[in-house]
Amino acid sequence: MQPLYDWTPVFRLMIVGLLVAAGPLVWVWLRSRGASPVQRLRVLAGLTLFLTFDLVLFGAFTRLTDSGLGCPDWPGCYGAASPIGARADIAAAQAEMPTGPVTFSKAWIEMIHRYLATAVGALILVMAVVSTVERRRNPAVPVLWPWLSLLWVCLQGAFGAWTVTMKLFPVIVTLHLLGGMVLLALLRWQAMRYGQADALTWQAARLTPGLRAALWALFIAVWVQVALGGWVSTNYAVLACRDFPTCQGSWWPPMDFARGFELWRALGLQGSGEALPFAALTAIHYGHRLFAYVVLAALLGIGLALQRAGMAGHGRWLLALAGWQLLTGLSNVVLEWPLVAAVAHTGGAAVLVALLAGWLAATVTGPVDVAVASARSAAAPAWRERRA
């Protein structure tokens, strides 16, 4: 009897992902020999955070090189585990449409992105399982964040599948980008939960209530701006304005915000199925640019305020990221969207999200983790006896 669904491509992708994840796991084991389980988890969390950052950048590279449909099915490539097994199908698709979305190079870019995503999921699964096992021996080991990260990475996988099966539906691709940023924030928070209490407090006592509220407001504003930037990218609206600071030679060019921000529609089309007018693309671009002024002003103001509060290093990070985002954003406009600048702009946003997530995690969980650190110290002798 014919099965309702062929799970073979899924298992093949999982095997490749596990093989890719084996390298980082071996590295953590070799680097942390003799360390406690919590220390190993901290190293693994930091490495997974780094690989997730790479995954976000490679996802941007995949999107910007039009490789999202390099393999037009999911999770395999024409049912194969790699473009090698799908070479006949890829060649046929490329012969039919030489400038279309399916080429060998684009297929490899798309599949490498899937391999890396599966490896990150495997590493998060290992952290969740090991944290749960160690929690029985040491009650201070956190388990909520690893399992929440695992749940989220599974949801990301679903959005990755919908990105392909729904043919780059802009709202799905934007949510996939935002989901990657959420995963970065979760892993950053998780890495800090595995850390020491003194690392978590990060001079939080110097933060006034007003400055703490300003950081939270900046964090929310950054998420709005990331969503707007993702909407620009997924609708290919970067070149709707090719000059700066004006757009199309005007401070307020013809714009159609209603159609530009109609969420449930196919790429390049309105919800009615008609072609998306250029004024809608202009509205998408200009909306991102206008809100960028707000975020840049907030970065500069809060960065200077942190320096005045005695946290010069933290303030310099915000000022540097403000300059980086301004430079890469302008480069996308005046240099007509070079690939390097576009990926770098996404990278700056990812660093900003992870940085603010870590700082705000410290302000929220610092007092709790002091008690956690004390519990670890108290539990250490008993833990060593059980291990012996």
| Tokens, residue 180 | 């990657």
Q: How many whole angstroms separate alpha carbon 312 and alpha carbon 307?
A: 4
Tallying the residues shown for the chain, one arrives at 388
User: What's the Cα-to-Cα distance from 293 to each of 96, 230, 328, 346, rounded to whole Å?
Assistant: 45, 17, 14, 17
User: What's the Cα-to-Cα distance from 251 to each of 133, 227, 258, rounded to whole Å?
Assistant: 60, 23, 19
The proportion of the chain whose per-residue pLDDT surpasses 90, expressed as a percent, equals 69
Does the annotation mark 110 as catalytic?
yes
Q: How many whole angstroms separate alpha carbon 241 and alpha carbon 247?
A: 5
Catalytic residue among 110, 134, 274, 385: 110
User: What are the beta bridge partners of residue 247?
Assistant: 250
Band (16; pLDDT cuts 50, 70, 90): confident
Among candidates 212, 148, 158, which has minimal Cα distance to 186?
Answer: 148
Q: How many whole angstroms separate alpha carbon 287 and alpha carbon 306?
A: 29
316 and 307 Cβ atoms separated by less than 8 Å: yes
pTM of the model: 0.89
Lowest mean pLDDT among 57-61, 97-101, 139-143, 380-384: 380-384
* Section 219-224 average pLDDT: 98
The sign of the CA dihedral 148, 156, 339, 293 is: negative
For residue 95, the one-letter residue type is A
Band (222; pLDDT cuts 50, 70, 90): very high
**Helix extents (H) in 32-169:** 37-64, 87-96, 104-135, 144-165
Answer yes or no: is pLDDT of 189 > 80.
yes
**What's the pLDDT tens digit per position in 172-182?**
999 999 999 99
Lowest mean pLDDT among 31-45, 92-106, 361-375: 361-375
